[in-house]
């Protein structure tokens, strides 16, 4: 399983690192706040879906359903997207 990382800036500064990992039946998305920040905002759902779709290109899989919240913590979020074969 290979992971793809995206840095995102909600304002003037880069504030989150998103790691996307494709597994057999789901895509794991982990959004982490970068250290030393007092304000930060997660990438929008639209942006995350685009990144997930980009990670699935050429894999023969596609998103199949809404994201599932796995957990939220002080410095980030974790989601799963179910996927199916084309």
pLDDT in tens, 17-69: 999 999 989 999 999 999 888 778 889 999 999 999 999 999 999 999 899 99
Phi, psi of 18 (to 5 degrees): -110, 125
Q: Which pLDDT score is estimated for 53?
A: 96
Q: Which pLDDT score is estimated for 43?
A: 92
Indicate if the pLDDT at residue 1 is higher than 80.
no
Mean pLDDT over 68-77 rounds to 86
Q: In which residue are the tokens 């800036």 written?
A: 9
Token pair, residue 53, equals 């779709």
């Amino acid at each position: 399983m290979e992971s793809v990382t995206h840095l995102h800036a909600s304002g003037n500064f880069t504030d989150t690192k998103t790691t996307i990992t494709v597994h057999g039946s789901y895509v794991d998305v982990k959004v982490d706040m970068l250290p030393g920040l007092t304000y930060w905002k997660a990438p929008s759902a639209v942006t995350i879906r685009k990144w997930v779709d980009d990670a699935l290109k050429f894999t023969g899989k596609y998103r199949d359903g809404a994201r599932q919240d796995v957990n939220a913590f002080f410095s980030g979020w974790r989601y799963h997207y179910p996927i199916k074969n084309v």
